């Protein structure tokens, strides 16, 4: 189910980090990506560079980078784990993240190492997330 906060789409059943990435549990593995809010705020994404398969990433550390206009920003991993798959389509077409952030624009799949503990630090109840998200929207979208 898609839920709209203003013009930003969120899917029920996913986990969300304060760094605006989503995580989806798939048979004990975790697929991660950028939220619709983050891609809308970022604007057209020109490049995505992801840490390759086999690399261990920590929650809150860099999973990769993205470039929009003349700005490079970090993609902050929502969970700790080992990268087991990266979305190769983003190399040629990073704007898939803009077009389909929860689908074709996924970033990486992780084999999580501390899933149960770390999931507690993410939002999954969209109603509980709402007040924080409203603050974020106010922060990034003011006077536009």
Partner 1 sequence: MSKQEWRWLDLGALDPVDTQVIYDAVSVARGRNLVKDTIIFCYPVSPLVCIGYHQEVEKEVDIEVCKRFSVPIVRRILGGGAVYLDGDQLFYQIVVSQKNPMVPPQVEDAFKHFLKGPVEAYRSLGIPAEYRPINDIQVKGRKISGNGATTTVDGVFVLTGNIILDFNYDMMVKILRVPSEKFRDKVFKSLQEYLTTAKRELGLLVSMEEAKKVLLEGFERTLGINLQRSHLTPEEKQLMQTLREKYLSDEWLFMPEHRHPQLVKARVVKVATGISVVESAYKSRGGLIRVTMEIKEAKINDILISGDFWIYPTDALPKLEQTLKGATIDEKAINDRIYAFYKAHNLQSPGTTPEDFTKAILMAAEGEAAI
What is the chain written as a DSSP string? -EEEETTEEEETT-EE-TTSEEEEEETTEEEEEE-HHHHHHH-S--EEEEPPTT-EE-TTSEEEEEEETTEEEEEE-SS-EEEEEE-THHHH-TTHHHH-TTTTT--EEEEESSHHHHHTTSB--HHHHHHHHHHHHHHHHTT-
Among 2, 92, 128, 131, binds partner 1 (CB under 8 A): 92
Does 103 participate in binding partner 1 (rule CB under 8 A)?
no
Does 6 participate in binding partner 1 (rule CB under 8 A)?
no
Does 62 participate in binding partner 1 (rule CB under 8 A)?
yes
Among 76, 83, 96, 110, binds partner 1 (CB under 8 A): 76
Does 69 participate in binding partner 1 (rule CB under 8 A)?
yes
List the one residue out of 7, 63, 2 whose CA is nearest residue 32. Answer: 63
Nearer to partner 1, 72 or 103 (CB): 72
Residue 74, strand partner residues: 65
Kindly state the smallest distance separating residue 13's Cβ from partner 1, in Å.
27
Q: How many residues bind partner 1 (CB under 8 A)?
A: 24
Among 7, 73, 103, 135, binds partner 1 (CB under 8 A): 73
Kindly list the residues in this chain that would bind partner 1 in the complex (CB under 8 A). Answer: 41, 46-47, 49, 52, 60-62, 65, 67-74, 76, 88, 91-92, 95, 139-140
């Amino acid at each position: 189910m898609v839920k709209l906060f203003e013009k930003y789409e969120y899917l029920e059943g996913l986990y969300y980090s304060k760094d605006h990435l989503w995580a989806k549990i798939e048979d004990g593995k975790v697929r991660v990506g950028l939220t619709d809010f983050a891609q809308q705020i970022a604007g057209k994404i020109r490049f995505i560079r992801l840490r390759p398969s086999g690399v261990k990433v920590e929650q809150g550390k860099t999973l990769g980078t993205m470039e929009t206009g003349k700005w490079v920003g970090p993609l902050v991993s929502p969970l700790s784990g080992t990268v087991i798959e990266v979305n190769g389509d983003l190399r040629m077409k990073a704007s898939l993240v803009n077009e389909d952030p929860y689908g074709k624009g996924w970033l990486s799949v992780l084999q999580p190492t501390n899933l149960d503990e770390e999931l507690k630090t993410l939002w999954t109840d969209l109603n509980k997330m709402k007040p924080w998200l409203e603050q974020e929207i106010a922060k990034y979208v003011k006077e536009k």
